[in-house]
């Protein structure tokens, strides 16, 4: 092992050196391959990364080069990030499901010379736009299947590069010294990675992050949540998302814990059960899907099991939170909860793969209070954080014992937050970005004169708790024609608390009333349809069924009653809605790769439907272009029904609030 690297661990390669010494035989990466979990220790990862770096250097990779990382969560792709950083090159992760045009945009903008990819699919995507990538010189791939007959002049198996590097290191001691010198030459203020934003509000931008900033931020939160080398996380989030690079890669190297890579995206939930992580992150959508599956199974269970389940879930709701927070709880409550843990909570958490979780986070969207309380009542230490790529994720985080469903916590360690006069949240943080790659104008736009980052989100600090509350994107908060505040994201998130509603897009700014486009959840509504003997052949048929409309109308009316109980939102109740004939899809440009709605794009694409919502029409025709999995495009046409729903008169609502 190298001995010469003695500089502070302010770069990821130096952290890797430290971990190989301190945690040599502890697991660093697990990967499920062909149904079997394979484990690599920190010592093995270190040796493989050194060999890989030598192999990359032989291909021409040098300090300052950019290397695209394209694929799913696989050990060799994480090692590609590490090996690039060893050489002082800059990794640029790209979403694995990005279509060829999106991929080309990032590779061209980042001036990528090399690309480490997962498999044939990613190789083919890059080759299909090769004429737009004049700077791309070489590609290296992990999965060999289907690539044997390709031209390998500029295409290399990663395993081969590692084998070549290992052979060179064994034969020439000077190469090992040179490699130690490369690691020692790295500086904390060097660019460590470029992460591209999701592009919710426009073209994605390359966020430039430094090694020291990333490590300082990760070290702070590792200490905050008491993570160490005995923890384990499931690495299933997209490699290109800041959440994966922070929660798994940066925190994993800072704490020395193990990343477990699922076999593929389809098996991730099953692999979660097998690995039983101690540290877990999931967006609200994943927690919703888990609960939906549980409720579907309970709906199909026998009467005694259903009664037992619902009784003890009621017990958990009454006593679970106080027990989790070590607060005084009546003896009868503790006893009932203990019985429930044996009969219901323990087996349920085990089935979900969450029984070993010590710390869990959710972020990205608001999580429903009932959903949040459900998991916490079962004994899971589920917390919320608020962050963004420009902060290197964490802006706020909820400390243990200070958990509130309607806040995102106080400032994370060493983060400074202020609320501008406009209501915008602004911050300074250890991991904050250097700027946007090749875009000084956008960088200046994102910063204040005194060095705070503008989040673009409207929020305020809660007087009772001192925690931050996020209202919406500042630019999206509007007003109805009568002056009523219109917070679309708040309305959409409340609708998505219903398991039957997967996505919602609300409109109302500069309008007389609020309307909404809805996507149903095919799993939840499909299960409901089975029980109700509703026959359907496709998502489009189910979405247009009268009984489905009746059910969604009831949800919307229930939400209107909830909105009416707050004087701020009482006038923003929904008057009309429709169920879209297709699911919103990232491949069609309607969602970002992190599954956030592109509101403006949806408004343009479905303009005839939005117009019909406001002109009194009972139905409207729509034709939309759709992209199939193989890249082919087609047209989907439908006649969509539009429904009116009951609202609570604003005067009555305000009287009740008063």
Coil, strand or helix at 262: coil
Same domain, 105 and 81: yes
DSSP 8-state class, residue 132: G
651: pLDDT strictly greater than 60:
no
**Do residues 193 and 244 share a domain?**
yes
Burial 248-261 (b: 16+ CB within 10 A, else e): bbbbbbbbbbbbbb
pLDDT, tens digit, 9 for 90 and up, residues 249-268: 999 999 999 999 999 988 99
> What pLDDT is recorded for position 422?
85
- Model pTM score: 0.84
Residues 255 and 299 in one domain: no
DSSP per-residue codes, 15-82: HHHHHHHHTTTSEEEEEEETTEEEEEEHHHHHHHHHHHHHHHHHHT--TT-EEEEESSS-HHHHHHHH
Structural domain total, the chain: 3
The answer to whether residue 433 is domain-embedded is no
Of the two residues 285 and 117, the one the predictor is more confident about is: 117
Listing DSSP states for 328-342 in one string gives ---HHHHHHHHHHII
Q: Do 233 and 339 belong to one domain?
A: no
pLDDT score at 503: 92
On whether both 322 and 413 belong to a single domain, the answer is yes
- Structural domain contains residue 6: no
Same domain? For 234 and 305 the reply is no
Residues 408 and 484 in one domain: no
570 vs 188, residue with greater confidence: 188
For 415, counting Cβ atoms within 10 Å of its Cβ (0-12 exposed, 13-18 middle, 19+ buried), the class is buried
Instruction: Tell which wins on pLDDT, 594 or 581.
Output: 581
Residues 362 and 239 occupy one common structural domain: no
Segment 520-533 mean pLDDT: 90
* CA distances to 132, 197, 501, 598, 643 from 202, in Å: 22, 10, 26, 9, 32
Q: What is the pLDDT of residue 4?
A: 44
Euclidean distance between CA atoms 606 and 504, whole angstroms? 13
Q: Are residue 235 and residue 314 in the same domain, yes or no?
A: no
Q: What is the DSSP letter of 567?
A: T
CB 426 within 8 A of CB 418: yes
pLDDT digits 0-9 by tens, 445-486: 999 999 999 999 988 898 889 999 887 777 778 889 998 888
Phi-psi region of 326 (alpha: psi -120 to 50; beta: other; left: phi over 0): left
Structure tokens at 585: 């899809």
Summarised one tens digit per residue, pLDDT across range 573-593 is: 999 999 999 999 988 888 887
Q: Is residue 192 part of a domain?
A: yes
Q: Are residues 407 and 492 part of one domain?
A: no
What b-and-e string marks burial along 39-57, b requiring 16 or more CB atoms within 10 Å of the CB?
ebbbbbbbbbbbbbbbbbb
pLDDT value of position 1: 46
Nearest one of 200, 189, 252, 608 to 433, comparing CA atoms: 189
Write the CATH number for 635. 3.30.300.30
Residue 442 lies in a domain: no
Is the pLDDT at 5 greater than 50? The verdict is: no
| 317 and 211 within one domain | no
Residue 635, pLDDT above cutoff 60: yes
* Separation of CA 386 from chain center: 12
Model pLDDT, residue 270 = 92
Q: Between helices 12-22 and 211-224, what is the axis angle to 10°?
A: 50
How confident is the model over 142-178, as pLDDT tens digits?
999 999 999 999 999 999 999 999 999 999 999 999 9
Residue holding tokens 């099991």?
305
d(CA 468, CA 387): 12
Over residues 85-121, the pLDDT tens digits come to: 999 999 999 999 888 888 999 999 999 999 999 999 9
The pLDDT, as a whole number, for residue 485 is: 86
- Hey, what are 642's tokens? 């539009």
* 393: confidence class by pLDDT, cuts 50, 70, 90: very high
Q: What pLDDT sits at residue 172?
A: 94
Q: What is the dihedral of CA 115, 121, 126, 127, to 10 degrees?
A: 120
Q: In what order do the strands lie in the sheet with 27-33?
A: 36-41, 27-33, 258-261, 232-234, 279-281, 359-362, 382-388, 393-397
In a domain, 441, yes or no: no
Distance CA 616, CA 469 (A): 36
Show which of 278, 307, 331 is a domain's final residue: 278
Q: Which position has the token pair 């589920």?
A: 382
The residue ranking higher by pLDDT, 99 or 568, is 99
Q: What is the pLDDT of residue 265?
A: 86
Domain annotation covers residue 443? no
**Pair 75, 52: CB distance under 8 Å:** no
CATH number at residue 197: 3.40.50.12780
The pLDDT assigned to 302 comes to: 85
Mean pLDDT of the chain: 92
3-state secondary structure 273-329: HHHCCCEEECCHHHHHHHHHHHHHHHHCCCHHHHHHHHHHHHHHHHHHHHHHCCCCC
The verdict on 19 and 167 lying in the same domain is yes
> Tokens 């994720």 label which residue?
393
**In the predicted structure, residue 630 carries a pLDDT above the cut 80:** no
Poorest-pLDDT segment among 195-209, 233-247, 433-447:
195-209
Q: Given 243, 278, 313, which residue is the final one in a domain?
A: 278
Residue 7 lies in a domain: no
User: Worst-scoring range by mean pLDDT, 193-207, 230-244, 329-343, 612-626?
Assistant: 193-207
Give the per-residue pLDDT at 631.
66
Between CA 519 and CA 525 the distance in angstroms is 11
Distance CA 200, CA 97 (A): 16
Distance, CA of 412 to CA of 430 (rounded, Å): 10
- Percent with pLDDT over 90 in the chain: 75
Q: How far apart are CA 519 and CA 343, in angstroms?
A: 36
Domain contains 447: no
Domain closes at, from 235, 259, 278: 278
Q: Which two tokens stand for residue 366?
A: 């608001």
- Which residue range(s) make up the domain with 489? 477-657
The CA angle 402-403-404, to the nearest 5 degrees, is 120
| CB neighbour list of residue 22: distance below 8 Å, 6 or more residues apart | 229, 256
pLDDT digits (tens, 9 = 90+) for 43-95: 999 999 999 999 999 999 999 999 999 999 999 999 999 999 999 999 999 99
Which of 607, 514, 615, 604 lies closest to 559 in space, CA to CA? 514
């Amino acid at each position: 092992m190298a001995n010469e690297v003695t500089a502070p661990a302010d770069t990821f390669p130096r952290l890797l050196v430290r971990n190989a010494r301190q945690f040599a035989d502890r697991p660093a990466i697990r990967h499920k391959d062909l149904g079997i979990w394979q484990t690599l220790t920190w010592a093995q990862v270190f040796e493989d990364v050194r060999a890989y770096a030598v192999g990359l250097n032989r291909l021409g990779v040098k300090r300052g080069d950019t290397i695209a990382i394209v694929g799913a969560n696989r050990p060799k792709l994480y090692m590609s990030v590490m090996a690039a950083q060893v050489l002082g090159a800059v990794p640029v992760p790209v979403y694995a499901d990005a279509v060829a045009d999106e991929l080309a945009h990032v590779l061209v903008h980042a001036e990528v010379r090399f690309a480490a990819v997962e498999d044939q699919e990613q190789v083919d995507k890059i080759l299909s736009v090769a004429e737009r990538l004049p700077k791309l010189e070489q590609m290296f791939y992990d999965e060999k299947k289907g690539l044997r007959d390709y031209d390998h002049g500029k295409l290399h198996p990663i395993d081969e590069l590692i084998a070549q590097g290992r052979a060179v290191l064994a034969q020439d001691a000077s190469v090992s010294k040179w490699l130690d010198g490369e690691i020692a030459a790295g500086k904390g203020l060097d660019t460590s990675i470029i992460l591209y934003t999701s592009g919710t509000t426009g073209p994605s931008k390359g966020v430039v992050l430094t090694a020291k900033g990333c490590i300082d931020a990760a070290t702070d939160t590792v200490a905050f949540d008491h993570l160490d080398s005995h923890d384990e996380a499931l690495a299933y989030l997209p490699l290109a998302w800041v959440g994966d690079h922070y929660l798994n890669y940066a925190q994993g190297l800072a704490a020395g814990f193990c990343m477990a890579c699922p076999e593929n995206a389809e098996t991730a939930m099953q692999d979660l059960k097998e690995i039983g992580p101690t540290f877990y992150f999931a967006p609200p959508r994943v927690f919703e899907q888990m609960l939906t599956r549980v409720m579907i199974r309970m709906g199909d269970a026998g009467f005694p099991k259903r009664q037992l389940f619902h009784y003890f879930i009621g017990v958990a709701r009454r006593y679970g939170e106080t027990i989790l927070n070590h607060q005084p709880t009546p003896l009868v409550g503790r006893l009932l909860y203990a019985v429930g843990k044996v009969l219901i909570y323990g087996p349920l958490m085990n089935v979900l793969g969450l029984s070993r979780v010590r710390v869990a986070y959710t972020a990205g969207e608001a999580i429903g209070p009932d959903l949040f309380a459900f998991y916490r009542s079962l004994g899971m230490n589920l917390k919320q954080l608020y962050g963004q790529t420009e902060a290197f994720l964490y802006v706020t985080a909820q400390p243990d014992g200070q958990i509130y469903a309607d806040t995102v916590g106080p400032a994370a360690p060493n983060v400074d937050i202020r609320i501008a006069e406009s209501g915008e949240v602004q911050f300074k943080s250890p991991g904050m970005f250097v700027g946007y790659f090749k875009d000084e104008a956008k960088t200046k736009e994102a910063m204040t004169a005194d060095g705070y980052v503008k989040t673009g989100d409207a929020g305020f600090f809660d007087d009772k708790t001192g925690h931050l509350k996020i209202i919406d994107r500042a630019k999206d908060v509007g007003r109805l024609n009568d002056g009523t505040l219109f917070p679309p994201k708040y309305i959409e998130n409340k609708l998505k608390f219903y398991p039957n509603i997967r996505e919602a897009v609300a409109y109302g700014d500069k309008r007389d009333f609020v309307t909404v486009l809805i996507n149903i959840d095919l799993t939840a509504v499909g299960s409901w349809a089975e029980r109700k003997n509703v026959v359907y052949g496709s998502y489009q048929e189910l979405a247009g069924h009268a009984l489905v409309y009746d059910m969604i109308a009831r949800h919307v009316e229930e939400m209107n009653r909830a909105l009416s109980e707050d004087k701020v939102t009482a006038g923003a109740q929904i008057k009309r809605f429709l169920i879209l004939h297709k699911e919103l899809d990232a491949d069609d440009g309607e969602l970002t790769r992190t599954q956030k709605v592109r509101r403006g794009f949806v408004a343009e694409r479905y303009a005839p439907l939005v117009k019909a919502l406001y002109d009194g029409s009972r139905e409207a025709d729509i034709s939309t272009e759709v992209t199939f999995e193989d890249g082919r495009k087609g047209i989907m046409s439908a006649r969509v029904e539009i429904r009116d729903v009951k609202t609570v008169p604003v005067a009555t609502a305000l009287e009740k609030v008063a």
